[in-house]
């Protein structure tokens, strides 16, 4: 539970700071227009802070951490969120600096981050299912060993 609590808290702090960075960076560069920096804070606050607070509540109710899939969810989801937010910041900074054409690597890396977030959500639901309906379900017994759990 501590891992979830401190992760949610960390995303809250980073989310608020990213909003401050957006405001001050664009003001300092006298930038007018759209930049991905404007949505980084909402991504971090929603996908990091709020989602992990909900998972913390689910942990308290159903002890999700007893599922062999929980750690896979936690790390996959967090890597996906950090990767997604980092590439959004990088792309936003390039936009504010006037770079109009970016490498194909930026959307590619953002796509990998979104895929990891999606895989993490599926793992969360599989972990929740095992805690709600029991670990004797054949699907969990087949999935967890494949993931190394």
Model-level pTM? Answer: 0.86
Three-state SS for the chain is: CHHHHHHHHHHHHHHHHHHHHHHHHHHHCCCCCCCCHHHHHHHHHHHHHHHHHHHHHHHHHHCHHHCCCHHHHHHHHHHHHHHHHHHHHHHHHHHHCCCCCCCCHHHHHHHHHHHHHHHHHHHHHHHHHHHHHCCCCHHHHHHHHHCCC
The pLDDT of residue 140 is above 70:
no
The pLDDT of residue 138 is above 70:
no
CA-CA distance, 4 to 83, in Å (whole number)?
Answer: 18
pLDDT digits (tens, 9 = 90+) for 41-82: 999 999 999 999 999 999 999 999 999 999 999 999 999 999
* Proportion of the chain above pLDDT 90, given as a percent: 84
Q: What is the pLDDT of residue 1?
A: 85
- What dihedral angle (degrees, nearest 10) is formed by the CA atoms of 80, 84, 86, 88? 180
CA-CA distance, 86 to 146, in Å (whole number)?
Answer: 30
């Amino acid at each position: 539970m501590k891992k979830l609590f401190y992760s949610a808290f960390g995303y809250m702090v980073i989310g608020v700071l990213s909003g401050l960075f957006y405001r001050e960076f664009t003001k300092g560069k006298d930038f007018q227009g759209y930049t991905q920096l404007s949505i980084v804070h909402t991504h971090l606050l929603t996908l990091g802070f709020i989602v992990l607070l909900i998972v913390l509540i689910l942990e308290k109710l159903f002890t999700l951490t007893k599922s062999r899939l929980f750690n896979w969810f936690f790390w996959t989801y967090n890597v996906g969120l950090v990767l997604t937010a980092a590439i959004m910041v990088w792309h936003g900074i390039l936009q504010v600096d006037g770079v109009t054409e970016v490498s194909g690597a930026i959307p590619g890396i953002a796509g990998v981050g979104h895929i990891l977030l999606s895989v993490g959500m599926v793992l969360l639901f599989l972990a929740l299912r095992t805690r709600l309906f029991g670990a004797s379900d054949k699907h969990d017994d087949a999935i967890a060993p494949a993931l190394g759990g």
